[in-house]
Structure 1
Amino acid sequence: MKKDPVLAYVSLGSNLGNRAFYLQKAIFSLGDKAGEIEAISSVYRTPAWGFEGEDFLNACLSIQTTLSPEDFLDCLLEIEREAGRQRKATGGYRSRTLDMDLLYYGKAQIQSERLTVPHPHMEKRRFVLKPLSDIAPQFYHPVLGRDHRNLLQECPDHSSLEKTHLVLHKTQKSFFTALGFVAIEGNIGAGKTTLARKISQDFNAKLILERFEDNPFLPKFYQDRARYAFPLELSFLADRYQQFIEDTRQLDLFKSFVVSDYDIYKSLIFAKITLGIEEYKLYRKFFSIMYREVRKPNLYVYLYQSTDRLLEQISKRGRAYEEGIPAEYLEQIQSGYFDFMKHTPELNSLIIDAGGYDFVSRPEDYNAILDQMMAHVMGKDI
């Protein structure tokens, strides 16, 4: 017989490492393992409680779960361990990457060797009561018989509590949706199209792919760079501009956000390598006019691969016109991207060394890429 779900409440805290990332990752894991996240409080910055340490980020959430209280506790402990937390029986409080506590399990009152519910002494902790009041102001403590607003007013803890602008999301889909527009960039053969496709499929994103195979100048360029460089770069620019104007501005009611396998600035990076000085000056004038009008990504991810690895990937995909691409050309492109990111501090750029990852065949590698993206965003948000 299927068990009816119970509404449980959990507190989360972190004061070590990328605190916001650990909180967000824990919420995703809890939703995957234990049930459906119902509500998440604001995030508060609070001083370490009971010991000397860095400030905590604290929040609370509610979740519908069919797990038993003991199984739910095991789930919380497993998520803590995944975040590198090692609980110790003695030694008092200490800094930790993640701290998760079961506050309520419905209205149940539980007293066992492993678990006490409601959580003992929570009425004395402002960093618990304030986020609880955000999501359940009128929830009555089943033992004390008072709601969280009253308990907060009577709380003897007067330590400082600062509400942050950080927003935690219930699911990975909602996290990526909030980004709005993600560009996956990289050198030739870096895997950017593959990653963009997977993100689009998994999180319901509108996918923008570069239409390089439709460019009639590309095969000719690899045979005679000097002759076909200018028409190639100009045609790429025109096509990218048209695609970005159309695809990033048109609202798609059935898609959550936009992900592309290129950013239009790559036009200038490639043109600087392939064109002569005078041609590049003319090209840059056209580019500058167009670039002002196109939408910029909110997250710019650059997949780094070594030159040897790029040549290996290019060889595997077997495109005839890519045969014989010199290593020097790939290294020039790589340098162009790094120079662009270095001199564009307003760009929310993230470089991921993807050389050891196989995000097609290994789900753990794909998840590691997503974690790096999330850690980058969350680390900048706080």
Structure 2
Amino acid sequence: MTKRVYISIGSNKGERFQHLQHAVNRIFENIGTIEFISKVYTSPAFGFESDEFLNACLVVKTDLLPETVMKTLLDIEAELGRTRTDSNGYEARVIDLDIIFIDDDIIETTLLQVPHPEMHKRRFVLQPLNDVAPRVVHPVFKQLVCELLQSCTDDSVLQPINECLKNPIERFNFSHHNYIAIEGNIGAGKTSLSTKMSEDFNAKLVLERFADNPFLPKFYEDASRYAFPLEMSFLADRYQQISDDLSQLDLFKDFIVSDYDVFKSLIFSRITLEEDEFKLYRKLFYIMYKEIAKPDLYVYLYQNTERLQQNIKKRGRQYEQQIADDYLNKINLGYLEFLKNQKDFKVKIIDISNKDFVNNRADYLWVLGEISNEFSTN
């Protein structure tokens, strides 16, 4: 389950701003997508005599468990040079990373206390937090962050600096394109990738409505009987859906990402239909295909057959469990043959056979980099 984590970051030793930026980068790489970053403020040391701090606050979306987030933050602190001592007193530090809120959770463990028990007393926490979450309610005090800031008795004076921390997600720029299609074999992960991209990059998500097709379970039971009605129903549905979704302008989204391209109809039908049926089908397809907008980039997620079968078993759709390796191999070959001769749009083939971008954030960021690099080099 995705949660929003509100993280306070601070530094008062060495290259303070660089330490904050390094921390932001590591949080993005190891914990999740950063939605908001506050201004950076100078603030006096709180509770002890030392150099001024730089402080900021982040809002991070993550699928990690709360204690895993905390352990990861401690690892990032250690990586950036902080050595925590057994002392309970205040001290200068290269980097300080604290969890303030995790949605509206209340957590009390040996490792983690959420909400942070001292946050309401510290202006260096509340001021940056108010930049990014003024209307968030403290789950214990039942007060808004902006209200906590107004009533805070800490009289420290904070000043914003002119420099802003950069959000690492900006290295992946898709918003200057209109339409990205994510394609792949059965079980390749195209829906998972499309969904994650839509959430992280404010994209309109278009998902294939395969679950509503009454012919699909029947096809896996008797392919020769139900292949033609299955492919015809898919073609009609894909044509209608993609035409409707691409024609509906969404002013609040930056681009469209879909987990299929309508051309898959021709690829699958070439495998499933008899020759005379396929010729008729292909004629109908090209009549309809001329009217459909083409993607700016067509991404094909290649996975070997063994990994495809593992994914199919894992997601547990009963009617897919008997899919033969030979059928998956034919689909892969059909896609690769089609893409080899494609001139209507840009194509990026990404081999993800040794990647798990659903459960491994580093793999997800690698895939984003592969897609982003295709745009920057074309």
Q: TM-score range by the shorter chain?
A: 0.5 to 0.7
Q: Deviations over 1:24-73 (max 9, x none)?
A: xxxxx99965xxxxxxxxxxxxxxxxxxxxxxxxxxxxxx9779xxxxxx
The aligned counterpart of 1:260 is: 258
The aligned counterpart of 1:202 is: 200
Alpha-carbon distance change, 356 to 252 in structure 1, aligned in 2, over 3 angstroms: same
Amino acid aligned to 1:219 = P
Amino acid aligned to 1:357 = K
The aligned counterpart of 2:309 is: 311
The aligned counterpart of 1:21 is: none
8 Å contact from structure 1 (residues 181, 258) kept in 2: yes
1:302 aligns with 2:300: yes
8 Å contact from structure 2 (residues 271, 330) kept in 1: yes
Alignment of 1:126-275 (within 5 A): 172=170, 175-275=173-273
Q: Deviations over 1:215-239 (max 9, x none)?
A: 0000000011100000000000000
How far did residue 179 of structure 1 move?
1.5
Amino acid aligned to 1:247 = D
Amino acid aligned to 2:284 = F
8 Å contact from structure 1 (residues 215, 235) kept in 2: yes
Question: TM-score, normalization: structure 1?
Answer: 0.55
Q: Deviations over 1:129-160 (max 9, x none)?
A: xxxxxxxxxxxxxxxxxxxxxxxxxxxxxxxx
SS at match of 2:377: helix
Amino acid aligned to 1:210 = E
SS at match of 1:368: helix
8 Å contact from structure 2 (residues 172, 368) kept in 1: no
How far did residue 201 of structure 1 move?
0.5
* C-alpha distance in 1 between matches for 2:268 and 2:261: 12
The aligned counterpart of 2:55 is: none
SS at match of 1:278: helix
How far did residue 254 of structure 1 move?
1.7
The aligned counterpart of 2:99 is: none
8 Å contact from structure 2 (residues 204, 257) kept in 1: yes
Question: TM-score, normalization: structure 2?
Answer: 0.56
The aligned counterpart of 2:355 is: 357
SS at match of 1:182: strand
* C-alpha distance in 2 between matches for 1:174 and 1:313: 27
% same residue: 53
SS at match of 1:349: strand
Alpha-carbon distance change, 292 to 230 in structure 1, aligned in 2, over 3 angstroms: same
Amino acid aligned to 1:262 = Y
Unaligned ranges ≥5, structure 1: 4-28, 34-63, 68-168
Amino acid aligned to 1:200 = S
The aligned counterpart of 1:90 is: none
* C-alpha distance in 2 between matches for 1:360 and 1:170: 20
1:323 aligns with 2:321: yes
How far did residue 347 of structure 1 move?
2.4
* C-alpha distance in 2 between matches for 1:378 and 1:201: 22
* C-alpha distance in 2 between matches for 1:270 and 1:241: 15
Amino acid aligned to 1:328 = D
Amino acid aligned to 1:286 = L
The aligned counterpart of 1:334 is: 332
8 Å contact from structure 1 (residues 271, 280) kept in 2: yes
Alpha-carbon distance change, 220 to 322 in structure 1, aligned in 2, over 3 angstroms: same
8 Å contact from structure 1 (residues 184, 303) kept in 2: yes
8 Å contact from structure 1 (residues 179, 298) kept in 2: yes
The aligned counterpart of 1:147 is: none
SS at match of 2:267: helix
8 Å contact from structure 1 (residues 31, 171) kept in 2: no
* C-alpha distance in 1 between matches for 2:233 and 2:254: 30
From 278, 281, 288, the counterpart of 2:279: 281
8 Å contact from structure 1 (residues 173, 203) kept in 2: no
8 Å contact from structure 1 (residues 208, 261) kept in 2: yes
Amino acid aligned to 1:215 = N
Give the number of aligned pairs: 226
* C-alpha distance in 1 between matches for 2:291 and 2:304: 33
* C-alpha distance in 2 between matches for 1:293 and 1:317: 34
8 Å contact from structure 2 (residues 172, 372) kept in 1: no
How far did residue 172 of structure 1 move?
3.4
Alpha-carbon distance change, 285 to 316 in structure 1, aligned in 2, over 3 angstroms: same
Q: Deviations over 1:261-313 (max 9, x none)?
A: 00000000001000111101111111001111111110111101000110111
SS at match of 1:283: helix
How far did residue 175 of structure 1 move?
2.0
SS at match of 2:181: strand
Unaligned ranges ≥5, structure 2: 1-8, 11-20, 26-38, 43-166
